[in-house]
Structure 1
Amino acid sequence: MEKIPVNLLLVEDVEDDALLIARELRRGGFLPNYQRVDTAEALEASLGAHDWDVVITDHNMPGFNSSAAIAMVHQHDRDLPVIIVSGSIGEDLAVEAMRLGAKDYIMKSNMRRLVPAIQRELADADSRQARRKAEAAILHLAHHDALTGLDNRASFRLKLESLLQSVRQDGGQHSLLFLDLDQFKVVNDTCGHLAGDEMLKQLAGVLLQGIRVNDHLSRLGGDEFCILLENCALEHAQSIAETLLALVRNFRFFWDNKVFSVGVSIGIVAIDQHSGSMEDILSAADIACYAAKERGRGVIQVYERGNVELSRRRGEMDWVRHIDEALDGGRFQLWRQPIRSLGPDGQHSVHHYELLLRMLDRDDNVVLPGAFLPAAERYDRMRAIDRWVVGTAMQCVGQCKESDEQIHTINLSGASLSDDSLCDFVREQIASNNVEPYNICFEITETVAISNYQSAVRFMHEMRRIGCAFALDDFGSGLSSFAYLKSLPVDFLKIDGAFVRNIANDPMDRAIVEAIHRVAHVAGLRTIAEFVENDAIIQVLRDIGVDFAQGYGIGKPEPAPMNCREALNRSKQ
């Protein structure tokens, strides 16, 4: 049986006793590599000269004892186990030694306990070392990106906050670079996520080549990186950014016999005593980076506080954060506005409802979509919002059906029309919520339909195939409205409110509405007038023959009921 090596430091003034200890260990299966010392000076020197597994010390030596040895060992390394082997130590002294940190005490007259004690201490030391390694690994993962090994978002935020505190106290000029890779999605879509991950690892190395030793490069997630440039004025930061642009531009990624190149857009923001909070700085850097992308990608954009366009975008980014919080925290709501028939049957019943989106701010105030949808459209949040609306609307209709004929209209954006998976998502929501498709009408604006013509027509045909209806909103706002009407498979035409609100007083508006209504009926479509605010408008629309009306003169928007009891109570009011 192979013996186990053990590095042993013996604090023992009698050579024969040291030999006795070594012999006992050999007999127990160890191969001791030991050094004997008998003074404080020799112990101090030996502790720093080698890596020891165990220290064995006698209790009483001339001018030295186990208590002093334990103190010296723990001052050097508190994890190094100390065992007392003595011929004369009383119970009280042994207890005191254990209190000071000795792992065991063994009488020289009972050396059979030595080997089990050594085995136990070595096993405990291995366990402690494994635990420390695991804790270090966890700590590393908490502050580093698992893919690239760079600092992660949490570590970056800690360093940025520390730098801000330093700036407020001591001043100084620093800079932050926000980097977003251009065309990275091409690699992911073409070769898969393994290739994308490998590319990010290689690019992390490329970026490190372009910065100074004391700069902090972090991966925030996805294909976004940030670099903290300490003691770096804006002009120098721009020079570093130019270097990074060139490095990334010259980088080539090889995968599966294919060669890929990418670019990077960089936003720069100065950090000084005039800087706001950490969130303000990150928002400014993100906005500058997005502006760089819009200028053509592979571009550097410095954030300037007086730049009106960048300030506007900063406001939009604030809305983006509110949108993300609303999606994650359930702060969106569905409201509904009634649409009534203008015929004799419409006096006492609602033909259908348009479902409307609302947001609750942090103080639970209702925010209208006109405030946040422009930011959602610019910063690619519309698909997520539309999916929330569709899913919530289907739950509402499935749980709160007030009549078999009632239709609920759901608005969709152009971004969702180009989403190939939207049809499947709608079908899943209809099935899982037990909704009849004929109770659902999707609504898109004329502008969206024309701008996304092929996608719109394809989606309309697919939804009508399963039984859903379609409404074309704001009809008449485009120059080619009637030309497109022949090829768009819609059921309802919503007349642009701009022609309706003054129809009782403006002959031109009345003529336009009459023309739209006649063309719609020739095409087999039903018409809905928007912005119907009073009885005078309602009477003119009835005279023309418009089928339905929507507006404050018909009914104001209200929160959509989310259960049958709530819907029934409202219907009785």
Structure 2
Amino acid sequence: MLNQVHKQKKIIVADADTWSCEELVKLLKSGGFTNIAVANDGSKVYEVLRLYQDNPNDLGVVIIDEDLPQCHIKEMCKSLSHENGGIFLSFIILRKEQAQEPEALGLGSEYQTYEIFKPYRFQELLQLVGFLLVLKHERFLRFQQQEKLITELSTRKLLDAKLKYMVAHDDLTGLLNRHSLEQHLRLVLHKNGKLLQNGALLFIDLDRFGLVNDIEGFDAADRLLVEVVTVIRKAVHGMGLFARIGSDELCLYLDQSSPEQAKAVSEQITRQLESFRFRVRDASYNITASIGIAMLVSPETVKHPAELISKGHQACTIAKKKGRNKIWLYCEEDQAFQERQRDAYWVPVIREALSNNRFFLAFQPIVNLQDGTISHHEVLIRMKTVDGKIITPGEFIPVAERMGLIHGIELWVIEKSIEFLAALPSRFSHVSLAINLSGNAFQDDAIVRFIQQKLEMSWVSPDRLTFEITETAAVENFDRTRIMINQLRALGCHFALDDFGAGFCSFNYLKKFPVDYVKIDGQFIRNLVDDETDQVLVRSMHQIAQRLGKKTIAEYVETPKAITILRDIGINYGQGYILGRPDPELSSQQHFLLNDIKIN
């Protein structure tokens, strides 16, 4: 329905006949159409149209004489009235007489052109103008809806494509993510199984990435990853499937690659990274990477991509342990991998033993070499398996230290040792124990409070406990170790430096550690009878310890002759199978009397 908005649209009257043009304008104004422009040739029509090029919807109808000078009506109609043009301008062509058929212009129904023959009826012309204005408005609304729908569909397709990309790629680096890498590797495994082709997975881990992350912040660390990825891409010239599977862990799969080729690519990557400098403000960082290589050999069965990635990760871990910025090829027979497999076996066994109390204590006497009396006992731990087999600590303690389980074992040993002393009859109040601590224990501030609480709750005198730490562990954490030794000594406990002589700069650290006992490493005692050099070294260790006010203990004492030599040197105490084997039944009275060994 025609309304006032429609009547405000621009109507162009194009006629070279001035009288005819004026009559049309009067007619239109009488019908309520006031927004009228007049043109006497084709160029004037285009001048008016150009004023509305940014707002074509404000145009209404063009009433044009068929003989308008400088005008190609057919071309004008084609360019301005087609429904796909978005302008929707309707044309009313004024003809002199009905001499031609309506299709004479050769335009289809999609072009909005209408013809009126002179002499035309005024009312018919006004109705046609009103109809065309309403029709143009409806066409424009339909066009807007179509454009909106197309835009929405395009946006949705773009969003879908973006989501698909994000699902498959890392949003920071643009690399494949782990899920996408595994999907590609599944296809590779299937293909390699049939075509007997080999490949190599390079597991790349940036060394000390956390240092940049902690010092410079997350934004700098993100920028570092992006720049490193760019360096690696250039180094490998776009070869292989490249993915980011962790914060600073990257994987590069090389198809049809031999071990030699994989190593060559890895070396190229490390060289490029060594020459790369990451700069943040005034700081410059040298970035290196450890690379583990896992080969995919067709005759061998790899059931899942994660298995190949895991092998690469294990190789990379060994490369880091070897000093970082190294390349390591995975090999099942490699001692380092076998050690990791042992770790994987022992971890659940140790956890189960802690949970179900499958550990127990054994006690080995430390004997005064001058009179044969027992000074104290070293506490040793044993594990009993489900089938009753006894496991010595050499099997599981190294694993516990590597895998972070030693802390729980040490707390268990301390607690059970204090409970053992508290349960002894009063006539055994002279019995004291020596407990081994790992270097990790000295990084735990809570362990001193734990020991103090257990002693206070059990009423066990602190001087009945001696704590032992190996020389190498003490040196690794020198300052922290010395602080904790002083704290435990302040409680009243004693301290022993174990395996003395096994490390470097032993005498230098000996004078700095406030220990009560020095346990001479067994490597100097085993061949003491036949090796004069060992005798000289043991004598010098004892003399220096004695000058510093510390008592000496010889480990691995196995023969009566060794006892005699140690007594002659002046060693205070001895420990070994000849003096007493580790025994869980310390409650037997004979363990607290003079040892049956005759020391002559």
Change beyond 3 A, Cα 1:429–1:248: farther
- Separation of aligned partners in 1, 2:195 and 2:386: 35
- Percent sequence identity over matched residues? 31
In the TM superposition, residue 531 of structure 1 has moved relative to its aligned partner by 1.0
8 Å Cα contact 1:249-1:261 kept in structure 2: yes
3-state DSSP of counterpart to 2:445: helix
Alignment pair present for 1:390 and 2:415: no
In the TM superposition, residue 315 of structure 1 has moved relative to its aligned partner by 2.5
Q: Which runs of 5+ in 2 are unaligned?
A: 1-162, 593-600
In the TM superposition, residue 251 of structure 1 has moved relative to its aligned partner by 7.5
8 Å Cα contact 2:205-2:248 kept in structure 1: yes
Q: How does 1:234-249 map to 2 (within 5 A)?
A: 234=259, 237=262, 241=266
In the TM superposition, residue 375 of structure 1 has moved relative to its aligned partner by 7.7
In the TM superposition, residue 302 of structure 1 has moved relative to its aligned partner by 4.5
Change beyond 3 A, Cα 1:175–1:490: same
In the TM superposition, residue 391 of structure 1 has moved relative to its aligned partner by 2.1
- The residue number in structure 1 matching 2:96 is none
Question: Which of 311, 314, 336 is 1:313 aligned to?
Answer: 336
Farther-moved stretch of structure 1 (522-531 vs 176-185): 522-531
- Separation of aligned partners in 1, 2:310 and 2:478: 35
**Deviation by residue 1:270-321 (Cα, 9 ceiling, x = unmatched):** 201244657985565345435654677445444578xxxx823222332343
8 Å Cα contact 1:493-1:526 kept in structure 2: yes
- Separation of aligned partners in 2, 1:145 and 1:469: 56
Q: How does 1:11-22 map to 2 (within 5 A)?
A: none
- The residue number in structure 1 matching 2:447 is 426
In the TM superposition, residue 329 of structure 1 has moved relative to its aligned partner by 4.7
**Deviation by residue 1:187-215 (Cα, 9 ceiling, x = unmatched):** 23324678657866886798789786982
- The residue number in structure 2 matching 1:442 is 467
- The residue number in structure 2 matching 1:172 is 197
Change beyond 3 A, Cα 1:568–1:429: same
Larger radius of gyration: 2
- Separation of aligned partners in 1, 2:215 and 2:239: 35
Change beyond 3 A, Cα 1:337–1:229: farther
Q: Tell me the TM-score normalised to structure 2 length.
A: 0.53
3-state DSSP of counterpart to 2:579: coil
3-state DSSP of counterpart to 2:203: strand
Change beyond 3 A, Cα 1:264–1:515: closer
- The residue number in structure 2 matching 1:285 is 312
- The residue number in structure 2 matching 1:521 is 546
Q: How does 1:161-560 map to 2 (within 5 A)?
A: 164=189, 167-191=192-216, 215=241, 217-219=243-245, 221=246, 223-232=248-257, 234=259, 237=262, 241=266, 262-275=287-300, 285-286=312-313, 288-290=315-317, 292-293=319-320, 297-303=324-330, 311-322=334-345, 324-326=347-349, 328-330=351-353, 333=359, 335-342=361-368, 347=373, 351-356=376-381, 368=392, 381-382=401-402, 384-402=404-422, 406-413=432-439, 416=440, 422-431=443-452, 433-434=454-455, 437-449=462-474, 453=478, 456-477=481-502, 481-482=506-507, 484-503=509-528, 513=538, 516-534=541-559, 537-538=562-563, 541=566, 546-557=571-582
In the TM superposition, residue 186 of structure 1 has moved relative to its aligned partner by 0.7
3-state DSSP of counterpart to 1:351: strand
8 Å Cα contact 1:400-1:567 kept in structure 2: no
- The residue number in structure 1 matching 2:137 is none
Farther-moved stretch of structure 1 (264-273 vs 382-391): 382-391
- Separation of aligned partners in 1, 2:532 and 2:317: 47
Change beyond 3 A, Cα 1:459–1:223: farther
In the TM superposition, residue 159 of structure 1 has moved relative to its aligned partner by 6.9
8 Å Cα contact 1:410-1:440 kept in structure 2: no
Farther-moved stretch of structure 1 (404-413 vs 238-247): 238-247
Amino acid in the other structure paired with 1:488: F
Amino acid in the other structure paired with 2:511: K
In the TM superposition, residue 457 of structure 1 has moved relative to its aligned partner by 4.0
Change beyond 3 A, Cα 1:238–1:504: closer
- Separation of aligned partners in 2, 1:502 and 1:543: 16
Amino acid in the other structure paired with 1:485: L
- Separation of aligned partners in 2, 1:200 and 1:434: 52
Change beyond 3 A, Cα 1:339–1:527: farther
Change beyond 3 A, Cα 1:464–1:276: farther
RMSD: 5.2
Amino acid in the other structure paired with 1:225: L
3-state DSSP of counterpart to 1:401: helix
Change beyond 3 A, Cα 1:206–1:324: farther
3-state DSSP of counterpart to 2:580: coil
Change beyond 3 A, Cα 1:384–1:192: farther
8 Å Cα contact 1:530-1:550 kept in structure 2: yes
- Separation of aligned partners in 2, 1:571 and 1:200: 67
3-state DSSP of counterpart to 2:495: strand
State how many pairs are aligned: 413
Change beyond 3 A, Cα 1:523–1:201: same
In the TM superposition, residue 558 of structure 1 has moved relative to its aligned partner by 5.2
In the TM superposition, residue 472 of structure 1 has moved relative to its aligned partner by 1.9
Change beyond 3 A, Cα 1:477–1:249: closer
Q: Which runs of 5+ in 1 are unaligned?
A: 1-136, 560-565
3-state DSSP of counterpart to 1:489: coil
Change beyond 3 A, Cα 1:252–1:330: farther
**Deviation by residue 1:218-264 (Cα, 9 ceiling, x = unmatched):** 52x55333344455555665576567557866887787997756332
Change beyond 3 A, Cα 1:389–1:236: same
**Deviation by residue 1:44-88 (Cα, 9 ceiling, x = unmatched):** xxxxxxxxxxxxxxxxxxxxxxxxxxxxxxxxxxxxxxxxxxxxx
8 Å Cα contact 1:167-1:273 kept in structure 2: yes
**Deviation by residue 1:353-397 (Cα, 9 ceiling, x = unmatched):** 2435x6789988656555677788xxxx54824423432222223
In the TM superposition, residue 184 of structure 1 has moved relative to its aligned partner by 0.7
Change beyond 3 A, Cα 1:265–1:502: closer
